[in-house]
């Protein structure tokens, strides 16, 4: 056989593209044609991961993330350390997912801050669920409101274990005075998934209400956030 002919033939051979390349193009086309809202969660997550992992099939990883954390909001709410327990998730992927989570938080906060809390209650509930509904440890937050009941601050004032976060009523009121807040809404999460208030939650709320009374700072509500929903102390008749 002519050596030159062999060389010419080998020059014409091109390594086939990985199987997932065509899949990526088809998924992008479907997203453009039908809109992102038409995609199931795993495909939406897969589409996002294309940018973090450009040269690997990411469908299995998208499905593993959803299986591990239960939902898309669970994936975004997971800590970087939790995310990196999955094979294929390194610093870059974890950071990109947390950036997406932070963007969602800021959008939710804007929706709440534009109006009085009372008129945007559903937006407030959505915001606190996004913020701490999937936290693995208890977190105690305070929403500070002005005289018009508009949000002027949202601050984490305690981080704890899987079933307890330290709360200091005097510190809550001290910070309220610093921000010139007229009222507060207390928020904390139950990592167990059940938002039912505990007796300790009730006692702590009473202490904060008492601390604010002499300062004329009202406690509008205490929200307990969990994967299964949000419990309102006011709606439950606990305050």
pLDDT of residue 17: 52
pLDDT of residue 63: 95
Does residue 177 sit within a domain? yes
Using CA of residue 154, residue 160, residue 162, residue 163, what is the dihedral sign?
negative
pLDDT of residue 234: 94
The domain boundary residue, chosen from 104, 133, 153: 104
Residues 6+ apart with CB under 8 A from 239: 205, 206, 209, 219, 221, 222, 233
User: Edge-to-edge strands of the sheet including 229-232?
Assistant: 151-159, 139-145, 183-189, 218-226, 229-232
Does residue 60 sit within a domain? yes
**How many domains is the chain built from?**
2
Q: Are 95 and 127 found together in one domain?
A: no
pLDDT of residue 2: 54
Give the C-alpha separation, 154 to 185, whole Å: 9
Give residue-wise pLDDT tens across range 75-125: 998 889 999 999 999 999 999 999 999 998 888 888 777 778 777 888 889
Does residue 2 sit within a domain? no
- Identify whether the C-beta of residue 162 lies closer than 8 Å to the C-beta of residue 193: no
Q: Are 80 and 157 found together in one domain?
A: no
Give the C-alpha separation, 139 to 136, whole Å: 9
Q: Are 122 and 27 found together in one domain?
A: no
Does residue 41 sit within a domain? yes
DSSP letter (8 states) at residue 116: B
Q: Are 166 and 221 found together in one domain?
A: yes
Give the C-alpha separation, 151 to 148, whole Å: 9
pLDDT of residue 163: 60
Does residue 237 sit within a domain? no
The domain boundary residue, chosen from 104, 133, 159: 104
Q: Are 98 and 138 found together in one domain?
A: no
Q: Are 152 and 75 found together in one domain?
A: no
The domain boundary residue, chosen from 81, 104, 127: 104
| Residue 210 belongs to domain with CATH number | 3.40.140.10
* Burial environment of residue 216 by CB neighbours within 10 A (0 to 12, 13 to 18, 19 or more): exposed
Q: Are 94 and 30 found together in one domain?
A: yes
Q: Are 121 and 90 found together in one domain?
A: no
- Identify whether the C-beta of residue 205 lies closer than 8 Å to the C-beta of residue 238: yes
pLDDT of residue 112: 78
Q: Are 32 and 80 found together in one domain?
A: yes
pLDDT of residue 18: 58
Does residue 223 sit within a domain? yes
Does residue 153 sit within a domain? yes
Using 50 as the pLDDT threshold, list the residues of the chain that sit under it.
1, 3-4, 6, 9, 13
Q: Are 67 and 26 found together in one domain?
A: yes
Give the other-Cβ count within 10 Å of 46's Cβ: 24
Q: Are 70 and 162 found together in one domain?
A: no
Does residue 4 sit within a domain? no
pLDDT of residue 13: 47
The range of the structural domain enclosing residue 68 comes to 17-104
Q: Are 123 and 71 found together in one domain?
A: no
pLDDT of residue 212: 96
* Burial environment of residue 22 by CB neighbours within 10 A (0 to 12, 13 to 18, 19 or more): exposed
């Amino acid at each position: 056989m002519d050596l030159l002919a062999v060389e010419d033939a080998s020059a014409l051979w091109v390594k086939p593209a990985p199987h997932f390349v065509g899949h990526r193009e088809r998924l992008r086309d479907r997203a453009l044609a039908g809109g992102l809202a038409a995609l199931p969660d795993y495909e939406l997550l897969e589409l996002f991961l294309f940018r973090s992992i450009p040269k690997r099939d990411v469908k299995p990883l998208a499905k593993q993330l959803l299986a591990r954390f239960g939902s898309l909001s669970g994936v975004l709410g997971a800590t970087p350390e939790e995310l990196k327990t999955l094979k294929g998730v390194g610093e870059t992927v974890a950071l990109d997912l947390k950036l997406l989570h932070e963007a969602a938080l800021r959008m939710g906060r804007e929706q709440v801050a534009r109006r009085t809390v009372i008129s945007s209650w559903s937006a407030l509930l959505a915001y606190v669920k996004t913020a701490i509904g999937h936290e693995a440890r208890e977190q105690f937050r305070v929403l500070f409101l002005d005289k018009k009941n508009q949000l002027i601050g949202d601050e984490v004032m305690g981080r704890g274990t899987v079933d307890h976060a330290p709360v200091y009523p005097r510190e809550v009121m001290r910070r309220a005075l610093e921000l010139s807040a007229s009222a507060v809404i207390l928020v904390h999460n139950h990592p167990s998934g059940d938002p039912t208030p505990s007796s300790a939650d009730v006692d702590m709320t009473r202490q904060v209400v008492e601390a604010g009374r002499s300062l004329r700072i009202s406690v509008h509500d205490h929200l307990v956030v969990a994967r299964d929903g949000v419990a309102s102390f006011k709606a439950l008749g606990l305050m």
